[in-house]
Amino acid sequence: MTERIAARDKLPVMTATVTPPEATPLPSAPPPPPLERTSYGDRVFRVLLTLGAVSVPVLLGFLVYQLWTGSELAISKFGLGFLTSSTWDPVAEQFGAFPLIFGTLVSSFIALLIAVPLSLGVAIFLTEFAPKAIRQPIAFLISLLAAIPSVVYGLWGIFVLIPLLRTTLFPFLRETLGFLPFFQGPIYGPSMLAAGIILAIMVMPYVMSVSREVLLAVPDSQREAALALGATRWEAVITTIVPYARSGIIGAIILGLGRALGETMAVTMLIGNRHEIATSLFAPGYTMAAAIANEFSEAVGDLHLSALAYVAFLLFVVTVVVNAGARLLIWRVARGSGAGSRAL
Amino acid sequence: MNRRMLRRGISNLMVGLMVLAVVAALLPLFFILADLVAKGAGSLSLDFFTKTPAPAGETGGGVAHAIVGTLLIVGIASLMGLPIGIAAGIYCAEFPGSRLTWLTRFVADVMNGTPSIVVGVFAWAWIVATQKHFSALAGSAALAMLMIPMVLRTTEEMIKLVPNSLREAALALGYSRWRTSLSIVLRTTLPGIVTGSLLAVARIAGETAPLLFTALGSQYMSFDVNQPMASLPLTVFTYATGPYEEWHRNAWAAALVLILVVLVLSIGARLAIRSRFTLNG
């Protein structure tokens, strides 16, 4: 018995020692692959990929550098007072960006005020209530809104939306809410409110698709627990699902804000482009992006150009901060799902 | 009993409001597309595609110069942006632990949120200001810059979908790493990367803001990329804000052409991605 076991134990050892001498002399055997972890080809491949990867941060660094040197003249002349001054006079070479900052904030705020309830409603409907068959098609159609070029929104805004607003919504608002200072005064076509409304349409698909991704990341156990405790489906949404996804939804909204702040063409075509601060939303205004778009190619003086570059630099800093905050919040809920960066 | 009815009533009311929100969200899409067809289709003719603009105020003429310009500007932008974006995307997927990957990914996210007008100012300061004249090339550089982060992220996501076992199998068969990456991983994800690139092309084809003070626009047919050049989005902008009735008509027609190109590219790419990899569940 013991002998047989010993013999069996030896067997694999025997074959293992015997096979290599049989295998090596075969004439057609391929040469063994190199054992170093990186061959020549690997090194070339890695260098090429690294070049591609390195060039991305290098490009951004270069962008920041160019914006900084471009705006140096204006920064040294106006400093931070640029942010609070309201004069914009290319002839006298006096520049202040307060009306631009004000217009950017107000138009984005109007956009979010309209877009957030709409897109949250759509996102909640699509993840919680809609029949399975129509979820994808509706999400797809709304995402098409994000594919329409900004200049087409502007065109549509000039020739369709503004005439429509002038005859319907604006007079209506003035009659019903006219006691508020926002809805008083003469009705022009191009106005802060028109720009805010077109921005709302443009921002909505982003907020919708990111908050949808965040809501999809809420575990089913949360829904089931709420329903099992006797909540109606709406109560499950409002007491359980939305609070669970709250920081992600806030992230989606801030992401939308980032889009609205930097949106250029449609706003330029609808806002009226006036360096003024008006309380009435029917009055024309200006935004940072619109001012750059309108005046940059026609600016003559170095200081005028530099002031516009300063505005671009400010806009860049603001959108970077806003987007970083948004991604951090989204990332906290939909960890690793790439929501936000993948969205559209 | 009454209270329960009330709660169910509220639930139903909210669902009703949400359906309204869906309708309100889809209405603009429907109206924009309908208006584009209604106001633009009438001006589409052979002349529109083959002729350059008539002198201001006269009828006739087309936007051939802008179509050629868009093709050139977007084509050069793709030649510059796609290789960098794809290479960086492969790097991020192949070396996920590296510090450069973290940095590149972060920077790509930052660039993705950067307003396109800011990128335009950058291209102006970099190329136009140093060359002292507007050029289509500067416009292409700005568009390439916008393309890179988009292409990078889709490439990375697509490569991450390749099962590790496939990579291991290739390595176990004695393939070197670069051959595994190129002929196994990249070949499997090629359709995904192509559609991702198409989406990025569709995105930049409609961009106007970065071209305003780089490519500038022109009224003449031009093939010289070192000179100002027209493009479809710029033409829509100039014509829409111009004073002539004829310009407005051509703006609608050019916008219709633009949106057809953009929608065909992006719908096609999205459908292809969706049917191949179910990304969003």
Tell me how far apart the alpha carbons of residues B223 and B65 are, in angstroms, rounded to a whole number: 9
Pairing type for strands A88-89 and A94-95 reads antiparallel
Q: Give me the residue spans of the domains in chain B.
A: 2-43, 46-276
- Count CB-CB contacts under 10 A for residue A75: 17
Distance from CA of A5 to the nearest CA of B (A): 35
Interchain CB distance below 8 Å, B18 and A324? no
CA dist A289 and A296 (Å) reads 10
Identify which of A279, A286, A269, A285 has the alpha carbon closest to the alpha carbon of residue A162. A269
Beta bridge partners of A95: A88
Bridge partner residues of A89 (DSSP): A94
Residue A52 resides in a domain: no
CA distances from A40 to A46, A239, B162 (A): 10, 60, 25
- What's the rounded Cα separation, in Å, for the pair A342 and A209? 10
- Which residues in chain A are closer than 8 Å to B124, comparing Cβ atoms? 296
- The string of DSSP codes covering A40-102 is HHHHHHHHHHHHHHHHHHHHHHHHHHHHHHHHHHHHHHHGGGGGT---EETTTTEE--HHHHH
CB B128 within 8 A of CB B135: yes
Number of domains, chain A: 1
| Residue A35: per-residue pLDDT | 52
Domain assignment of residue A80, given as a range: 70-333
Angle between the N-to-C axes of helices A302-333 and A192-216, in degrees from 0 to 180, rounded to the nearest 10: 30
- Looking at residue A335, its pLDDT comes to 60
Pairwise CA distance, residues A154 & B83, whole Å: 32
CATH of the domain at A152: 1.10.3720.10
pLDDT tens column, A170-219: 999 988 988 888 888 888 889 999 999 999 999 999 999 999 999 999 99
Does residue A17 lie within any of the structural domains?
no
> Which of B12, B122, B148, B173 to mutate: most A Cβ within 10 Å?
B122
Chain B nearest C-alpha distance from A319 (Å): 6
| Spatial separation of the C-alpha atoms in residues B111 and A146, rounded to whole Å | 18
Instruction: Give the pLDDT confidence of A267-322 residue by residue, as tens digits.
Output: 999 999 888 888 889 999 999 999 999 998 888 788 999 999 999 999 999 999 99
Q: What's the whole-number mean pLDDT along residues B175-202?
A: 89
This prediction has a pTM of 0.87
Label residue A343 by pLDDT band (50, 70, 90): very low
- Whether residue B277 contacts residue B192, with contact meaning beta carbons closer than 8 Å, is answered with yes
Class of domain B46-276: mainly alpha
Rounded to whole angstroms, the Cα distance separating B236 from B256 reads: 10
What pLDDT shows up at residue A33? 55
Query: What's the Cα-to-Cα distance from B237 to each of B51, B208, B217, B251, rounded to whole Å?
Result: 19, 8, 10, 8
DSSP code of B61?
A: B
Q: What number of C-beta contacts closer than 8 Å exist between A and B?
A: 280
- Residue B176's pLDDT is 86
Average pLDDT over residues A145-163: 94
The mean per-residue pLDDT over the stretch B118-130 comes to 92
Rounded distance, CA B18 to CA B37, Å? 29
Which single residue is written with the structure tokens 């949808």?
A: A212
Chain centroid offset of residue A217 CA: 19
Asked, for residue A149, whether it belongs to a domain, the answer is yes
Task: Say if CB B198 and CB B268 are below 8 A apart.
Answer: yes
**Most confidently modeled of A3-17, A192-206, A241-255, B94-108?**
A192-206
**Alpha carbon of B118: minimum distance to chain A alpha carbons (Å):** 6
H or E element: which one contains B30? helix B2-40
Residue A342 lies in a domain: no
- Give the residue with greater pLDDT, A340 vs B249: B249
DSSP state of B229: B
C-alpha of A89 from chain center: 33
- The interface residues of chain A toward chain B in range 182-221, judged by CB-CB distance below 8 A, are 201, 204, 208, 213, 216
Whether the CB of A328 is below 8 Å from some CB of chain B: the reply is no
Q: Does residue A42 sit at the B interface (CB-CB below 8 Å)?
A: yes
Instruction: Answer whether residue A46 is part of any domain.
Output: no
Reported as a pLDDT band with limits 50, 70 and 90, residue A13 is very low
Q: List the single residue in A140, A262, A293 with the smallest CB-CB distance to B212.
A: A293
**What is the rounded average pLDDT of the residues A24-51?**
70
Sequence letter at residue A105 = L
User: Which site among B185, B232, B237, B280 would you substitute to test the A interface, given the most A Cβ atoms closer than 10 Å to its Cβ?
Assistant: B280
**pLDDT at residue B132, rounded to an integer:** 87
Instruction: Tell me the backbone φ, ψ of residue B229, rounded to 5 degrees.
Output: -140, 150
Q: Is residue A268 situated within a structural domain? A: yes
Of A151, A216, A232, the CB nearest to B237: A151
Residue in B18, B29, B236 closest to A141 by CB: B29
A64 within domain boundaries? no
Q: Residue A11, exposed/middle/buried by CB under 10 A (0-12, 13-18, 19+)? A: exposed
Residues of B in contact with A320 (CB under 8 A): 110, 113-114
Asked if pLDDT for residue B208 goes beyond 60, the answer is yes
